[in-house]
Amino acid sequence: MSRYLMRRILMLVPVLFGVTFIVFALMYITPSDPAQMMLGPNASPAAYKQMRADMGLDKPFIVQYLQFLFGYKHPEFGYKGLLFGDLGRSYISNRNVFELILSSFPNTLVLAAGALFFALLLGVPIGIFSATRPYSALDMIFTVFALLGASMPVFWAAMVLIYTFANNLRIFPAMSNPGDVISLVLPIVTLSMYSMAIIMRMTRSSMLEVMEQDYIRTARVKGMDEKVVIFKHALKNALIPVVTVAGLQFGQLLGGAVLTEKIFSYPGLGTIMVDAIYQKDTPQILGSVCFVALTFTFMNLLVDILYGFIDPRIKTTYTKKKARPVAKRSAA
Amino acid sequence: MSNTAINIPGGTIAQTARESNLRRFLRRTGRNLGQFWRQLSRNKLAVVSLGLVIVFALVAIFADFLYEYDFVTSNSLENALLKPGESGIVYYHEEDIEHTFILGSDNYGRDILGRLVHGARVSMIIGFATVAIALMVGGVLGAFAGYRGGLFDTIIMRATDILLSIPTILLAIAIVAALGNSFFNLLVAISTSMIPGYIRIVRASIISVKDQEFVEAARCIGAKDFRIVVRHIFPNIFSPIIVQSTLNVGSAINWAASLSFLGLGILPPKPEWGNMLSEAREFIQYAPHLLFAPGITILLTVLAYNLIGDGLRDALDPKLKR
């Protein structure tokens, strides 16, 4: 197991550097000019040149990337670099970017965790129910709901919920903030729709597959109670792919909360990111996108490791050497 | 494959052989298509969805005959926020004409149905173009990586890991933000987010078939790598790719709408389903048709592609052949 872990963690390093490189390169080719932004439109060419030098923007691309990773020394615009958790200050609000990100990340985490919890709470039982009565009327109805949930644009779902529950029924507020539980209901429901659909379908198909297995028939032939067969024998094995999907969904929820947060004016990471993109606030874009990508990568790693614990069959393929084919067939 | 074995002056036998090969190929293809259609048509939802998609495609192609582009982009404020079915006087082509707004009008007095029709064109182009670009780039890279293996494979797979570790919508947002707002950049952003998926599928499928006997047989009779991949391997990995592509068209339409909604794609006054919803935000209280008309259109389109994708998956899966 430890070898498998080491392997996965070592593989993470180039991926993380690659992510930061792509994001940095994207920001580098952005047509916006931070020096011009700091000075305003009426700056003299000399002052503009000085500002570019001060901000370290006159250096070649690769030097700027290394500065971004390892830090940039300057009394006003210096920062310690991404590796040391410091990307300097936002061009617009002049707040420390990483502090801003760390203060808004828990809000997004609450939203994503709530959405995943809600999706599992409804998705798994409905999936099990559908699998025990496949092709029944109720199963069909749930299937249609799952398909609608998977096809609905998130922002539209949010708007419909706001229109129904905030504007007309006036049950939930249209704006939400992390302190108010009632106001979190609509964004959580919005965000969970897609994941719920995926989890529901996954649970159903995985349950159906397991129910075909011989050991389920054996359990039934032994005269076991159907409830015990379903919940003790079938569910344990059927849940393995569901756990994986749920974990991957959690990562997607953290990144995909952008639209939901924007619509509900929720002060999370997504709002910070989109606002920074609108204002062309380079340090904040870099910081927030890298942060989400890193969290996403770590989530996927965690899911992989968890998967190894839940399903012993996976672990063995990594720890033992694979049996080599007798003759290597593909000639180069 | 060249028929060098029989070489008669005039080449009549070779020609006949080639013709009969062609005829056999056509007959087989016809039979396969017939069988495929029988499989697909069992799934009623998929057939209905296919019909819907065809209707939408026709609407997109003939959008200019249904509504003139200038008409759906020009304001007429006196007709603002009309309810569906109401009519108003529109000053157009230097004369006043009576016009019925079948799905109502928006806050600038523009016809919603007309904007939906022209938005369909944008969405269709984005849906198909992004999938085509992603399929070509991802397919070629994935095929190379899977078939050749070695260092190239390692590099491509690490690059794929990197792209996959940025959430898809976020990657698209970052690309549009970096390159700027334009139709072309939107295409680039969405197709780039799709490429890693294609690389993985094509590579995995190629690896699963490349060591099988028929490939070896083709290599034994001296077929070149390119020919082996295109003629012998591709037909065998066709079905997962076609299923994925159908589903991806739906996602591309959804993403394009989401990006435009955020103001990072196609901007008003150009009609696009996402930016129509974005403009409608402040008015949904007074004019709910602004919310429901574009939303249901997007929902139906994406749903149709998802249903066709599911139907294709069942129809192309040999394990499910009944």
Interface contact flag, A258 B264, Cβ < 8 Å: no
Give a yes or no: residue B5 inside a domain. Answer: no
End-to-end CA distance of chain A: 33
Between vectors from CA B190 to CA A16 and to CA A11, what angle results, nearest 5°? 20
pLDDT at site B137: 94
Neighbours of B266 (CB within 10 A): 23
d(CA A188, CA A182): 11
Tell me which chain A residue has its CA closest to the CA of residue B300: A151
**Chain B residue with minimum CA distance to A328:** B211
Q: Is residue B9 part of a domain?
A: no
Indicate yes or no: CB of A18 within 8 angstroms of CB of B158. Answer: yes
Structural domains counted in chain B: 1
Q: What is the pLDDT of residue A179?
A: 78
CA distance A144 to chain B (A): 10
Chain B residues in contact with A273 by the CB 8 A cut-off are 170, 173
pLDDT tens for the 332 residues of chain A, in order: 677 778 878 888 888 888 888 888 888 887 777 777 777 777 788 888 888 777 777 788 888 888 888 877 777 777 777 777 777 778 777 788 888 888 889 999 999 999 999 999 999 999 999 988 888 899 889 988 898 988 899 999 999 999 999 888 888 888 888 878 888 999 999 999 999 999 998 999 899 888 888 888 888 898 888 888 888 888 888 888 888 888 888 888 887 788 899 889 898 888 888 888 888 888 888 888 888 888 888 888 888 777 777 766 655 555 544 444 444 444 33
Q: What is the pLDDT of residue A328?
A: 42
Domain range enclosing B117: 45-73+111-320
Residues in B 161-220 with any Cβ partner in A closer than 8 A: 161-163, 165-170, 173-175, 177-180, 210-211, 216, 219
- Distance from the Cα of A190 to chain B's closest Cα (Å) equals 14
Kindly tell me if the per-residue pLDDT of B301 is higher than 90. Answer: yes
For residue B162, which residues of chain A lie inside 8 Å, CB to CB?
14-15, 18-19, 22
**A-chain residue closest to B295, CA distance:** A156
B265 in any annotated domain: yes
> Could you tell me if residue B57 is inside a domain?
yes
Phi, then psi, of A134 in degrees rounded to 5: -65, 145
CA–CA dist A119, B70 (Å, integer): 45
Q: In B, which residues are within 8 Å of A252 by CB distance?
A: 167-168
CB atoms within 10 A of CB A210: 20
Look at residue B2 in the predicted model and tell me its pLDDT.
Answer: 46
8 Å CB contact of B306 and A147: yes
Taking CB atoms and an 8 Å cutoff, what residues of chain A touch B177? Answer: 26, 30, 277, 285
Length of chain B: 322
Integer angstrom CA distances of residue A267 from A167, B33, B277 = 21, 53, 22
Interval B305-311 mean pLDDT: 88
The domains found in chain A, sorted by start residue, are 11-84 (no CATH), 103-318 (1.10.3720.10)
Looking at per-residue confidence, does A315 or B282 come out higher? Answer: B282
CA distance A269 to A257: 8
Q: Are A38 and A281 in contact (CB under 8 A)?
A: no
Q: Is residue B105 part of a domain?
A: no
- B chain contacts of residue A293, beta-carbon cutoff 8 Å: 165-167, 170
Which chain B residues are Cβ-neighbours of A147 within 8 angstroms? Answer: 303, 306-307
Instruction: Report the CATH number at residue B250.
Output: 1.10.3720.10
Which of A11, A27, A329 faces B216 most closely, judged by CB atoms?
A329
With 90 as the cut, is the pLDDT of residue B40 above it? Answer: no
Residue of A28, A269, A330 to mutate, testing the B interface (most B Cβ within 10 Å of its Cβ): A330
B240, A238 Cβ separation under 8 angstroms: no
Contact yes or no for B303 and A330 at CB 8 A: no
- Condensed to tens digits (0 to 9), the pLDDT of residues B70-91 reads 777 777 777 778 778 777 777 7
**Residue at B120 is within a domain:** yes
The answer to whether A101 and A289 have CB atoms below 8 angstroms apart is: no
B119 vs A: CB within 8 A:
no
Write out the two tokens for A56: 């370290």
Is B287 an interface residue toward A (CB < 8 Å)? Answer: no
Q: Which of A14, A167, A293 sits opposite B284 (nearest CB)?
A: A167
- Split at pLDDT 50, 70, 90, the class of B12 is low
CB distance A162–B167 less than 8 Å? no
In this prediction, residue B3 carries a pLDDT of 46
Query: Residue ranges of the alpha helices (H) in chain A?
Result: 2-28, 34-39, 45-55, 61-70, 97-132, 137-151, 154-161, 181-211, 214-221, 226-228, 235-263, 269-279, 282-310, 312-319
pLDDT at residue number A330 = 43
Q: b/e for A278-305, b at 16 or more Cβ within 10 A?
A: ebbbbbbbbbbbbbbbbbbbebbbebbb
Residues in chain B closer than 8 A to A274 (CB atoms): 173, 262
DSSP string, A232-291: IIIHHHHHHHHHHHHHHHHHHHHHHHHHHHHHTT--SHHHHHHHHHHHT-HHHHHHHHHH
User: Higher confidence at residue B237 or residue B190?
Assistant: B190
Q: Which chain B residues have a beta carbon less than 8 Å from that of A288?
A: none
pLDDT(B272) > 60:
yes
Name the closest residue on chain B to residue A251, using Cα atoms: B167
B175 vs A150: CB contact, 8 Å cut-off? no
Residue B199 CB coordination number (10 Å): 27
Q: What is the pLDDT of residues B103-156, one digit of tens each?
A: 888 888 888 888 899 999 999 999 999 999 999 999 999 988 988 888 999 899
What average pLDDT is seen over chain B? Answer: 84
The alpha carbon of residue B244 and the mean position of all alpha carbons in its chain are separated, in whole angstroms, by 10
Q: Would you state the structure tokens that stand for residue A208, as one six-digit string?
A: 């159906």
Q: Round to whole Å and give the CA distance between A136 and B178.
A: 50
Smallest CA–CA separation between A292 and chain B, in Å?
8
What's the one-letter identity of residue A225? D
